[in-house]
């Protein structure tokens, strides 16, 4: 496929590191309330600063991260959305949001 986006080796290494930290086997035991999902997203963003839609679904068991991010924004967190192409587990590319937590006071 001409001009198709590719997954960089750095991106793959980052995902492997993240998966080691957020063991995907334990996601079966995670609480599913909106508050618990917001807490997982916030914790992840505070630790890693950036989270994609696919990472939120795969690593944090948050099926609708856009809604949880919107709620965090309403609670005063400055989270910026950027669009990017990212590969799913089957290697198919999707246009997904990349959420970036800005430090307090930054615009």
CA distance 105 to 84: 25
- Contact (CB, 8 A) for 50 and 58: no
In a domain, 96, yes or no: yes
Total number of domains constituting the chain: 1
In a domain, 32, yes or no: yes
Residues 18-41 have pLDDT tens digits of 444 454 455 567 899 999 999 999
In a domain, 1, yes or no: no
Q: Collapsing DSSP states into helix, strand and coil, what is residue 65? A: helix
Provide the CATH number for the domain around residue 50: 1.10.10.10
In a domain, 106, yes or no: no
To which H or E segment does residue 46 belong? helix 34-48
CA dihedral sign, ordered 23, 65, 10, 91 = positive
Q: Strand 93-101 relative to strand 50-52: parallel, antiparallel, unpaired?
A: antiparallel
Tens-digit pLDDT string for the chain (107 aa): 444 444 444 444 444 444 444 544 555 678 999 999 999 999 999 999 999 999 999 999 999 999 999 999 999 999 999 999 999 989 999 999 999 999 976 55
Average pLDDT along the chain: 82
Residue ranges making up the domain that contains 28? 9-101
Q: Hey, what are 70's tokens?
A: 């919107």
pTM for the model? 0.71
DSSP 60: H
């Amino acid at each position: 496929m001409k001009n198709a986006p590719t997954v960089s080796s750095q991106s793959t290494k980052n995902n492997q590191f993240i998966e080691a930290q957020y063991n995907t086997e334990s996601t079966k035991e995670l609480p599913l309330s909106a508050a618990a999902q917001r807490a997982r997203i916030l914790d992840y963003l505070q630790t890693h600063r950036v989270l994609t839609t696919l990472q939120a679904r795969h690593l944090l068991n948050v099926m609708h991260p856009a809604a949880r991010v919107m709620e965090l924004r309403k609670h005063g967190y400055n989270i910026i959305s950027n669009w990017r192409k990212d590969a799913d587990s089957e290697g198919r590319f999707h246009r997904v949001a990349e959420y970036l937590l800005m430090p307090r006071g930054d615009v």
